[in-house]
A and B are shown apart, each in its own frame.
Chain A
């Protein structure tokens, strides 16, 4: 499997998992999904991107859907007022998305870090060229460097 396909698969799976969690009211699934993404993707930066993206989509999609169905203007203004930011309707929306992104990001960071600690560094493995060829190396830790 190519690295990009692997990345895409993990990303899509992460988004679906995170969205499912949201629909069930389990917001922390976004974080757990991030951890899984971090464990599943061999490179930290790709994991971070995928984690953030899954959080972004999982927390934005319901807002987009609700906006289409009900219109979120009055709700956003109300939440802003409760937050003490009367009239600033964008703030709750931004904050919601940021919370989702942060949860995905932190989860994937933690997952990647666990992966980095849990998998031992091979003694004689050299640095190889980045690219598809390297991704086929059996020791995935190498791909993190």
Chain B
């Protein structure tokens, strides 16, 4: 009996200790996680640790200071540049350490180490793609004594100061405790990896694979017609030329036919890339920025507005700071993990950015032969693949061994059927921190432009405004060029003839400075007109359809007509504008097609709603729902038959969510509806012969769909019942997500809100009026990743309501109500 008692006690104890030490299934290690002194409960102590205090940081050369506004904005003042960057690192880690660790792990292929084998596909892909190799090269290229090297090292020291402090005081972020691991030392490579993550999510694309699959199924002629280089609809390039002379851009015709074997290999790679977690492949872009010259503003100074659209998360991708040191006086937003202000203003200039969307990803099919194992044929001879091996640590399993083959084009990312390698501009080592730090210090357009000369990837539209009333826009970055006759929109032969040969000279990339009409704008649209002499990508790869850009231009032009002047309030109104430019173009055609038709009660009510609609996607608008569902039905009615009859393997139905294919086909449909209503594309649909027939049918389908989904009263079909927005918790914890809640906008409105629910949108809104010396900004989140903190999501409501917070300078911040001061000492 005693033995049995002992055995039972032993078994229960072992079981309990095991769960307490290691966790089981979804349970975290209970002992570690729930320890009130060191476990998840320390969130409470952390959330209360923001008050005025003195902190001791290793490596600090002189005393420094951090003023925290009541909303969490951090103002860092230091006597040396080194100390300022060290303090930035410390503050980032204090508020965002877990986010920073996730970002570096993602790019370095080490997520499996902490979450197990479910992240292995992501890790393997990241190591194949090579962010880590690129970051190592970039670090190796920075000479000793380089200011950027000093900044990155000081930043890492600050991060490590905080890691050490958090470990000593048992205040590591709760997610470390719950996942059962501790952060390793931060290195400069980690910062470069964070930058690489952003580059990847913004411009690593798979569009040539999509084009190959379309070519194989729809045929090369139809693919070339429907997915052209130049957009078929009316767009508004900000740099209309004139351009320097060079060979013009050819149509994608005749496009070569993709073979069965090639299509099969491409399909497997396409499927692999599509199965990766969201964010690893860029599938579109949505950001706005514009500037107005002093001559056009009420204040007499230049105006500037910018709102980059990204995945909206808690914590946000941005962290707001003001930095003051002998070399820097700059305010704006940084990315946790990186030392520089990415978007902001200094004493003389302001800037923001949108993604430029030109093609920076090229796929190559390597020529191999069994007689030449581990070799590929290039430029007339057989070359040995270089290789690099990794052992990926996997939680709860043995390490996963990975060997990556490298050709001259880049890493081999698929060997099923064909060996495909990828040339990606993000793999070209570039000193982007150096560029950003030079921008942070720039005082004139010339200095700004000179700094951007060394910016490679991702290509961005950098908008500029300064205290002298000047404005500009430069789409800085690499524009890879291949030999004439090559087909970069498809996977290309890897034998050398189609290699990337260079980039467009910096002086010839899209750019404007003080244009005559006093306005510059970008919203991911194609920046240049049809006669621009270089290839920069197809309409599908991967420029925006241009509706936001058109609406921005329309709004600004309307305001300045008859000598009107623009104000900062106008900038704010435009950033939160819900007018759908496409609807403004298409609804008149729909109403004309429906005019004179006999309609049932709901059809008639829907028609009347559209007839009196102002094209605004407001959440309480029923017409907005009718328009949106109609447009989706119109796309389906036109293209579904083609997809079905031609067995197209590329999915374009995504529940109404953003899909580059639909955006491209939408441009076609818009163009045909207005200019070519009898296009043969309409002829596959039963008896329908033209756009009007299809629109009438699609309208009826839309009304039926809305009746079925939202009830029989069309007045209650409000957009907010269909369209919601949320700010997702970064760790995908639904209880820590804000929303979903009904919201206005769609993916074509300046107030971008794509998808259902929408979790992308304006990630940081900034408005600058140099004449009034007013700077304001807001992002949908908070400075702290700690969900128990008052700064976890304190900015969301302000942002949601279209309000802004003033970007205070240090003096005003220090005297603002609720401000706290951290005195930093060695």
Question: What is the interface of chain A, defined by CB distance below 8 A to chain B?
Answer: 22-25, 27-28, 31, 59, 62-63, 66, 69-72, 74-75, 77-82, 84-87, 92, 95-96, 99, 102-103, 106-107, 109-110, 112-114, 116-117
Contact = CB atoms under 8 A, between A and B. Distances in A.
Closest 10 CB pairs of A and B: A81-B735, A86-B735, A62-B36, A78-B787, A25-B38, A113-B9, A113-B6, A75-B788, A75-B44, A74-B788
Given A75-B788, A109-B13, A82 B40 contact: yes
Interface residues of B, number: 40
Contact of B48 (A25, A59, A70, A78): A70
Interface stretch (B26-34, B247-255, B439-447): B26-34
Interface in B457-515: none
Contacts of A86: 734-735
**At the interface, is chain B mostly helix, strand, loop or mixed?**
helix
Nearest to A69: B48
B20 interface: yes
A79 B17 contact: no
B12 interface: yes
Contact of A116 (B5, B39, B45, B174): B5
Nearest to B17: A31
11 contacts: A25-B35, A25-B37, A28-B20, A28-B31, A66-B44, A78-B174, A80-B735, A96-B41, A103-B20, A114-B6, A116-B2
Contacts of B174: 78-79, 82
Which one of A62, A66, A79 has the highest number of Cβ atoms from chain B below 10 Å of its Cβ? A79
Given A25-B38, A27-B35, A80-B735, A106 B12 contact: yes
Contact of A99 (B21, B31, B786, B789): B31
B371 interface: no
Nearest to A65: B36
B6 A116 contact: yes
Contacts of A110: 6, 9-10, 12-13
Contact of B41 (A75, A80, A84, A102): A75
Contacts of B144: none
B735 A106 contact: no
Given A114-B6, A116-B2, A66 B787 contact: no
B5 A113 contact: yes
A123 B18 CA distance: 39
B45 A78 contact: no
B438 interface: no
A99 B10 contact: no
Contact of B13 (A99, A106, A117): A106
A69 B41 CA distance: 13
A142 B714 CA distance: 84
Nearest to B789: A74
A22 B788 contact: no
Contact of A107 (B13, B45, B48): B13
B2 A113 contact: yes
A71 B734 contact: no
Which one of B12, B16, B32, B41 has the highest number of Cβ atoms from chain A below 10 Å of its Cβ? B41
Given A75-B788, A81-B733, A81-B787, A27 B9 contact: no
Contacts, number: 128
B34 to A, nearest CB: 4
Given A70-B44, A106-B9, A117-B6, A25 B170 contact: yes
Given A25-B170, A96-B34, A82 B6 contact: no
Which one of A23, A25, A27 has the highest number of Cβ atoms from chain B below 10 Å of its Cβ? A27
Contacts of A79: 40-41, 43, 174
A72 B12 CA distance: 31
A62 B36 CA distance: 6
B281 interface: no
A86 B737 CA distance: 11
Contacts of A112: 9
Given A22-B35, A28-B31, A117 B3 contact: yes
Nearest to B30: A99
A103 B17 CA distance: 8
A70 B16 CA distance: 30
Contacts of B12: 106, 109-110
A63 B44 CA distance: 10
Interface of B: 2-3, 5-6, 8-10, 12-13, 16-17, 20-21, 30-32, 34-41, 43-45, 47-48, 170, 174, 178, 733-736, 786-789
Nearest to B16: A106
A84 B6 contact: no
B5 A59 contact: no
Contact of A113 (B10, B48, B734, B736): B10
A95 B789 CA distance: 22
A130 B326 CA distance: 82
B174 to A, nearest CB: 7
Given A27-B35, A80-B735, A86-B735, A63 B41 contact: yes
B20 A75 contact: no
B36 A78 contact: no
Contacts of B736: 78, 81-82
Given A27-B20, A109-B12, A113-B10, 10 more contacts: A24-B37, A27-B39, A59-B36, A70-B45, A75-B41, A77-B788, A81-B733, A92-B40, A96-B36, A113-B8
Nearest to A88: B735
A140 B41 CA distance: 42
Nearest to B48: A70
A113 to B, nearest CB: 4
A59 B32 CA distance: 12
Nearest to A144: B2
Contacts of A75: 40-41, 43-44, 47, 788
Contacts of A95: 30, 34
A117 to B, nearest CB: 5
A70 B171 CA distance: 14
A63 B265 CA distance: 59
A72 B44 contact: yes
Nearest to B31: A27
B22 to A, nearest CB: 12
A44 to B, nearest CB: 8
A82 B736 CA distance: 7
Contact of A22 (B2, B37, B45, B786): B37
B35 A109 contact: no
A73 to B, nearest CB: 9
Contacts of B47: 70, 74-75
B6 to A, nearest CB: 4
Contacts of A66: 36, 41, 44-45
A84 B36 contact: no
B737 to A, nearest CB: 9
Nearest to B7: A113
Contacts of A87: 735
A102 B170 CA distance: 23
A94 to B, nearest CB: 10
Contacts of B39: 27
Contact of A82 (B3, B45, B735): B735
Contacts of B9: 106, 109-110, 112-113
B793 to A, nearest CB: 11
A22 B36 CA distance: 8
A27 B32 CA distance: 7
A23 B37 contact: yes
B726 to A, nearest CB: 14
A78 B36 CA distance: 14
Nearest to B1: A116
A105 to B, nearest CB: 9
Which one of B13, B40, B178 has the highest number of Cβ atoms from chain A below 10 Å of its Cβ? B13
Which one of B36, B178, B736 has the highest number of Cβ atoms from chain A below 10 Å of its Cβ? B36
Contacts of B788: 74-75, 77-78
Nearest to A119: B2
A99 B35 CA distance: 9
A110 B789 CA distance: 41
B13 A31 contact: yes
B6 A63 contact: no
A45 B39 CA distance: 31
